[in-house]
Structure 1
Amino acid sequence: MHESDEPVTGPDPSTPPTSPTPSADSAAGSEPPATTGSGRRAAVRPAKASGFSGVAAGVLSAIRKHPKTWMAAAAAVVFLLLGTGSVALGATIGSPAAAAGRTSTATPTPTRTSTPTPTPTVDPARPVPANQAAATRIRTCSVAGLAGDRRLGNLEAQVVNAKTGQALFDRNGTKAGPTASVLKTLTSAAALATLGPDYRVSTTVVAGSTPGQVVIVGGGDVTLSRLPDGQASFYTGAPKIQDLANQVKQAMGGQQITSIVVDASLFGAPFWQPSWDEREERVVEGSTPYMTALMVDGDRDDPTAVESPRSTDPVGRAVQYFQQYLGTNVGVSQGVAPAGARQLGVVQSQPVTTLIDQAMRVSDNTIMEELARLVAIKNGAGNTFDALNAGVLAGLKGYGIDTAGIHIADGSGLSGDNAVPPSYLTQLFIKVLNRQNGLGVVYDSLPVAGKSGTLGPGYNRFTGANSAARGAVLAKTGWIDNGYTLSGIINAADGTPLTFAVFALGPVSDNAKQAIDTLVTGFYKCGDNLSNG
């Protein structure tokens, strides 16, 4: 206990000292004058002259015989006199009688007053803060060993209690790093905020500047399909270029088509992001096309496949099928649609919510690149890859989360130049979990561990001991050459909703996915008892 907290067992230190009543002996000779309660010295009676000479002679004789002894005695007397004066002075300053200005030399009869409660004091050697912090809960469930798995490479991770907003676990969580396909979450959020959930992408045909000329205008819809009516493409509910051609023929009323102009100017060059590995992504993996404003089936060779090699001329492939359904082989040229031209036909994509759902479940790069480009255009940032950073960040602004350190190089996450801190994702996923700002579509489209999407059967995720977290982890996956990522929501074993982001970066290999699953399963088991140690 502090010294000031101890009970007072001696005299009350707050009660002023009471001076004793002077006695006759103390007033008559060698004793120093006494003090009264008022702190003034009592009057001293003069000594009788008749005895002084003899006494003085004796004293002088003694001093001559024992000079050192008498010098020591004299020093002691002086010390006593000075000490008595100091005590008297202190009593004077602190005495209620002195404060009242009493001048009587009479000493009153001492009376005991009631003892007031002492004012607690703080030991100056042990300062105590004015507002002491409340006790912090000690969490005891550690995943430090799992986080130290070498398969995770350079780990960046954060886990947050989605109810309280408290960060429970952090390893470089505020450091921006490449996200891989986890970036699709940001692209989706920006598209919902900028384009709106019900926005549909149009492909139109208008009359040209000369009789019989038609202009096909690409609006950026990558889902437009070349397959005829009755055949389903990879993109569910995709509009058909056959339908567009039929509308044009009907609008022409039998007039012969003399030429076709292609307006794909909505998206600017370059059509391939410089940091992407073209052979790997366009040819071998078949995950990504040249990003032109007009294409069919994401420019896949196989319009029904998730991944399929892409061509070197998406616009040319689309026009080929447009000509085929028109039943003409007239000349084709590049150009721009005349302002105010009469519309001959139009087809539209599924709404943004459906596009997001399709892209998030299977991690489709092509839709996400389309949405990012349309967001940049709508926000006035431009129509090229270089415009995406400003455009997407503008789209994210309304969510109220600090975007410091974020850099957007593309819409899919394919570029290693993208940079997002895990701490941004944990905050964004709280809004996703709460279905704020229309983000419920993102929640509904997240792959579920062991059940759906890129975390479902066939992807070898959350297997073995990690199957404990199956059905409880809803997250977006990611993989690029220099990293594996996973970010989303955990419904922990103790019922706590957690948001998390894990980046395994650097020279990592495919087995980083299992290390990530193991760490995330640890988060699931610990729940709100997860410690940062």
Structure 2
Amino acid sequence: MRKRQPQRSEQHTSRGWWIASGIVAVGCIGIGAWLVPTAAGQWDSLTGADQPDALASASSVDNPVKDLPGDADQPAPADLAGPLEAASGKLDGGGTMASQVVDVASGNVLYSDDATRPVTPASNLKLLTQFALLSHADPNSRYETNSYLSEDSKSVTLVAGGDTMLSSGTSDENSVLGHAGVQTLAAQTIQELKDKGVSGKLPVNLDASMYSGQGTNPAWDSADVDAGYVTSISPIALWDHHTQRPSDGEDVSHRPQNAGADALNGYVKALNEAGASQGLSFASGSDSSEAAEHADSQRLGSVESATVLEQAKYMMENSDNVLAEVLGRNAAIAAGNEGSIEGAIKTVKQTLTGAGISTDGLIQKDSCGLSADNRVTPITLAQIIAHATQSETATSNLAETLPVAGGTGTLASRFEADDASAAQGSARAKTGTLLKVNSLTGYTTTSQGRLLAYSFVVNDVTNSEAATTALDASVAALTKL
């Protein structure tokens, strides 16, 4: 059985003061000036996986490149070759690294090693999903979950709207996970039914027609599904597709067999608790995906998720496979495509092509990177980062969703070695880990304040620790230039 190496991370809150100080220190040069208000100034929110910071909207976000010193020297390709070759040597024959480094301001490729080779990216594929999402959805928009009374007043329909982070309790506006709660929706529903004079026992049906096609991707290894790294995807779910509140953002236990039915049952339970004193009772009805027309006048209640950007940040920081699949389908719908596996994949390619980003060699099987059959070149990955860091559209928010080296999310316990510590508090990246894959794609600034986008992907890994060491050393080498 092929096992995955989960991207676990520990929150070292005791280290927060000096990492934040490091960010402030580099703020005098390079992108540090841009990181200060979003990282050092909001440290507690950044390290709390359930409460990512509410980031800027597309209309107000600043271009991070504008804060860089205009006279920062671009490194010469020769300056990168030696340090990066030394860093990749730390693989010690335990894998093959493909690399691409781009100077963002000029677009010049400073280093390229086997970068045209389509490689298995692991969770670096989430960058493609995030880019597509922020290209088509307003980052400040929210996903609605609604309930409606039938025209004959004899049943209630729960309508999925793409929020899979519902809580089984009341809405918590200060949290991303559980921002909307089914108890709050149930209380609204009971009040509306009372006002309409409805009583008795009503069936509650689920309209999950927002998504189509298979919920479980056939490209996923069944062992990964059984282990909970991913599960069948629904447009509505409790607790990010868990049967109870997860212990942290990387908890893969307690997966429901049918997330839609689980959410429906949770809503019905809340309705019965709230409606008992009003002469109302409820039973779960159909949990099919059949669509139905619902008049606004028949709406009984509505709750809203955290913003698209907050959910996207949660996904990135925790490398959340299931949420990536949800946001991939939501991106497809926002782009006018079907909310399906195929629709999400189609949307990514259309979006990259439209942005002028290479899709040469791209083979996409899912939205989260769990499939070992995904292929993408480091050229594509580095181009996404370069595009995001200089964009004046909503895609620029992608840059701020990436974990901080040695500080947040899946990078919290990385870059601790002496030859890698230079990147702490400065570099940002998306990690990727499968049994034979380790990857890092992101951006950093040189000691002179020059912004570089990079992608380092190791395939055929035989020693994950050595691969991680080589990746961290590679990013640090760029930061030291």
- State the TM-score bracket (shorter-chain normalisation): 0.7 to 0.9
AA in 1 matched with 2:424: R
Please say if residues 218 and 293 of structure 1, whose CA atoms lie closer than 8 Å, have aligned partners that are also in contact. Answer: yes
C-alpha change, 1:186 and 1:137, in structure 2 (3 Å) is closer
Is 2:334 the partner of 1:393?
Answer: no
The CA deviation at 1:479 is 0.8
Query: Aligned partners of 2:270, 2:76: CA distance in 1, in Å?
Result: 69
C-alpha change, 1:147 and 1:360, in structure 2 (3 Å) is same
Query: Aligned partners of 2:77, 2:423: CA distance in 1, in Å?
Result: 25
Query: Aligned partners of 2:341, 2:284: CA distance in 1, in Å?
Result: 31
Which of 361, 365, 369 aligns to 1:405? It is 361
The CA deviation at 1:397 is 3.8
Gaps of 5+ in 1: 1-135, 528-533
The CA deviation at 1:468 is 2.2
C-alpha change, 1:438 and 1:377, in structure 2 (3 Å) is closer
- More displaced stretch, 332-341 vs 219-228: 332-341
Q: Which has the higher contact order (CA 8 A, sep 6+)?
A: 2
Is 2:377 the partner of 1:433?
Answer: no
AA in 2 matched with 1:454: T
- More displaced stretch, 438-447 vs 346-355: 438-447
The CA deviation at 1:291 is 0.2
Larger radius of gyration: 1
Q: What whole-Å deviation, never above 9, does each CA across 1:357-398 have from its counterpart, x for those lacking one? A: 211112122222111112223334423212322122223344
Query: Aligned partners of 1:151, 1:301: CA distance in 2, in Å?
Result: 43
Query: Aligned partners of 2:301, 2:79: CA distance in 1, in Å?
Result: 65
Is 2:198 the partner of 1:255?
Answer: yes
Please say if residues 488 and 499 of structure 1, whose CA atoms lie closer than 8 Å, have aligned partners that are also in contact. Answer: yes
Correspondence for 1:37: none
AA in 1 matched with 2:287: Q
- Pairs within 5 Å for 1:92-491: 139-141=78-80, 142=82, 143-148=84-89, 149-150=91-92, 153-208=95-150, 210-228=152-170, 235-236=176-177, 238-253=179-194, 254-256=197-199, 257-280=201-224, 282-284=225-227, 286-305=228-247, 306=249, 307-309=251-253, 310-327=255-272, 328-335=281-288, 336-341=290-295, 342-456=298-412, 459-491=413-445
The CA deviation at 1:415 is 1.5
The CA deviation at 1:227 is 2.7
Please say if residues 135 and 395 of structure 2, whose CA atoms lie closer than 8 Å, have aligned partners that are also in contact. Answer: no
C-alpha change, 1:462 and 1:436, in structure 2 (3 Å) is farther
Q: What whole-Å deviation, never above 9, does each CA across 1:250-274 have from its counterpart, x for those lacking one? A: 2212512421111112222321112
Please say if residues 446 and 478 of structure 2, whose CA atoms lie closer than 8 Å, have aligned partners that are also in contact. Answer: yes
Please say if residues 429 and 440 of structure 2, whose CA atoms lie closer than 8 Å, have aligned partners that are also in contact. Answer: yes
The CA deviation at 1:220 is 2.0
Correspondence for 1:513: 468
Query: Aligned partners of 2:94, 2:102: CA distance in 1, in Å?
Result: 20
Q: What TM-score, normalized by structure 2, do the two folds share?
A: 0.74
Number of residue pairs aligned between Structure 1 and Structure 2 = 386
Q: What whole-Å deviation, never above 9, does each CA across 1:216-250 have from its counterpart, x for those lacking one? A: 111221111113456987x3461111111111112
The CA deviation at 1:287 is 3.5
Q: What whole-Å deviation, never above 9, does each CA across 1:426-466 have from its counterpart, x for those lacking one? A: 2221222224322332222211111122111xx34442331
Query: Aligned partners of 1:382, 1:283: CA distance in 2, in Å?
Result: 27
Correspondence for 1:502: 456
Q: Secondary structure at the match of 2:352?
A: helix
Q: What whole-Å deviation, never above 9, does each CA across 1:473-514 have from its counterpart, x for those lacking one? A: 111111122311100001122332211000000143321111
The CA deviation at 1:340 is 3.8
Please say if residues 406 and 415 of structure 2, whose CA atoms lie closer than 8 Å, have aligned partners that are also in contact. Answer: yes
Q: What whole-Å deviation, never above 9, does each CA across 1:151-201 have from its counterpart, x for those lacking one? A: 551211111122222211111112222221112222111111112222221
The CA deviation at 1:137 is 6.4
C-alpha change, 1:488 and 1:231, in structure 2 (3 Å) is closer
Query: Aligned partners of 2:386, 2:217: CA distance in 1, in Å?
Result: 31
The CA deviation at 1:295 is 1.1
Correspondence for 1:66: none
Query: Aligned partners of 2:258, 2:462: CA distance in 1, in Å?
Result: 34
Query: Aligned partners of 1:345, 1:455: CA distance in 2, in Å?
Result: 40
C-alpha change, 1:196 and 1:450, in structure 2 (3 Å) is same
Q: Secondary structure at the match of 2:161?
A: coil
Q: What whole-Å deviation, never above 9, does each CA across 1:27-63 have from its counterpart, x for those lacking one? A: xxxxxxxxxxxxxxxxxxxxxxxxxxxxxxxxxxxxx
State the superposition RMSD in angstroms.
Answer: 2.4
Query: Aligned partners of 1:232, 1:199: CA distance in 2, in Å?
Result: 16
Please say if residues 492 and 498 of structure 1, whose CA atoms lie closer than 8 Å, have aligned partners that are also in contact. Answer: yes
Query: Aligned partners of 2:137, 2:392: CA distance in 1, in Å?
Result: 16
AA in 2 matched with 1:325: A
The CA deviation at 1:303 is 0.9
Please say if residues 435 and 443 of structure 1, whose CA atoms lie closer than 8 Å, have aligned partners that are also in contact. Answer: no
Q: Secondary structure at the match of 1:222?
A: coil
Q: What TM-score, normalized by structure 1, do the two folds share?
A: 0.67
AA in 1 matched with 2:261: G
